Amino acid sequence: MHTSQPESQEPLKHIDQWDDFVAARYQQGKDASEFRNYDEKANPSVVEFYRLNHANQTLDFVLEKEKEFGQLGRGKKSIWAAADYLNTLVDDSDPDTDLTQIEHLLQTSEAIRKDGHPRWFVLAGFIHDLGKVLCLYGEPQWAVVGDTFPVGCAYSNQIVFPQFFAQNPDSLMPEYQTLYGVYEPNCGLENVHLSWGHDEYIYRVARDYLPEPALYMLRYHSFYPAHRHGAYRHLMSPQDEKMFDWVRKFNPYDLYSKGAAKPNLRELKPFYEDLVAEFFPAEIDW
């Protein structure tokens, strides 16, 4: 990990440890009732990562990060430059078996392409984790990855490790602990602040360029409490409900494509250059 954060803020050896934990939690063929067992078996770094995430993601923190990064003031960059930049996040503990970030993106998008899905869906797969460049801006792991959840209202017990919310200062704010908190019934997720991380950031970067279902995939792919467990429907609009079918369609490609053969970037590059150019200008705001 190349960040300027003190070590205590960086319990994961690499941010992919979080993705691997999620994939293990939802291992194919296991049902939801086994969910808690995976929690208990989580390794101590992952548990500590969630503790930090749940303790620090307050409504104020999220509002601050939305202002700091969500307004895309860090300059213009192409999708390719962002992908190359993200690829500098390498896990040196096991260089032979671990995938680079671009390889994970290509495995996801290639699995989507093989199933014959539309080009925008393939592209969503290819860029869905580019928001992890937040790590390279020096943000701590708990503000980049992790299952996302609404802040400013009661925490669902469908969120993994809910016990750690006791350490979040918002737990002591009664107005943030009612079912709706600062929100209105079925106000729509666009009016709800989710814990800050790579989903919201890449959504904001891509917002002007991709069709709505793709934007939902980017923005909510880590919102496991909702797309896997059906939590927070009381905040969702009918349009959210409809679009979550796409989020659920996307999720298995993200979780289960890792076993596939290592993609050959050189062979695949012409296809993805055309695909990126079809939807994005040469450079976009980050």
CB of 176 to Fe ion, least distance (A): 26
In terms of CB distance, is 10 or 129 closer to Fe ion?
129
What is the distance in angstroms between the CA of the first residue and the CA of the last residue of the chain? 21
> Distance between CA atoms of 147 and 195, rounded to whole angstroms?
9
Cα separation, 57 vs 193, in Å, equals 11
Single out the segment in contact with Fe ion by CB under 5 A; choices: 6-14, 170-178, 184-192, 248-256.
Answer: 248-256
Query: Could you tell me how many residues of this chain bind Fe ion (CB under 5 A)?
Result: 2
- Choose between 135 and 189: whose C-beta lies nearer to Fe ion: 135
For the CB of residue 16, give the shortest distance to Fe ion in the complex, in Å: 9
Q: Mark 253-282 with x for binding to Fe ion (rule: CB under 5 A) and - for no binding.
A: -x----------------------------
Least distance CB 101 / Fe ion (angstroms): 9
Task: State which residue, 170 or 199, has the beta carbon closest to Fe ion.
Answer: 199
CB 276 within 8 A of CB 123: yes
Sign of the torsion formed by the C-alpha atoms of 109, 217, 202 and 61: negative
Nearest residue to 12 via CA among 138, 137, 149, 146:
146
Q: Which is nearer to Fe ion, 129 or 139 (CB)?
A: 129
The least distance separating Fe ion from the CB of residue 128, rounded to whole angstroms, comes to 6
**Site for Fe ion contains 129 (CB under 5 A):** yes
Tell me the closest approach of the beta carbon of residue 218 to Fe ion, in angstroms.
Answer: 9
Asked if 203 and 219 count as a contact pair (C-beta separation under 8 A), the reply is yes
Tell the smallest beta-carbon distance from residue 145 to Fe ion (Å).
7
Using the rule CB under 5 A, is 200 a contact of Fe ion?
A: no
Q: Are 140 and 26 in contact (CB under 8 A)?
A: no
Q: Which is nearer to Fe ion, 23 or 55 (CB)?
A: 23
**Selected range binding Fe ion among 28-36, 70-78, 124-132, 274-282, rule: CB under 5 A:** 124-132
Nearer to Fe ion, 129 or 147 (CB): 129
Strand pairing class (76-77; 284-285): antiparallel
Among the listed ranges 57-65, 93-101, 146-154, 251-259, the one in contact with Fe ion (CB under 5 A) is 251-259
Please, which residue, 27 or 163, has the CB nearer to Fe ion? 27
Does 110 participate in binding Fe ion (rule CB under 5 A)?
Answer: no
For the segment 130-169, give every residue that binds Fe ion (CB under 5 A).
none
Stretch that binds Fe ion, among 33-41, 85-93, 125-133, 209-217 (CB under 5 A): 125-133
Q: Please give the residue ranges that form the binding site for Fe ion (CB under 5 A).
A: 129, 254
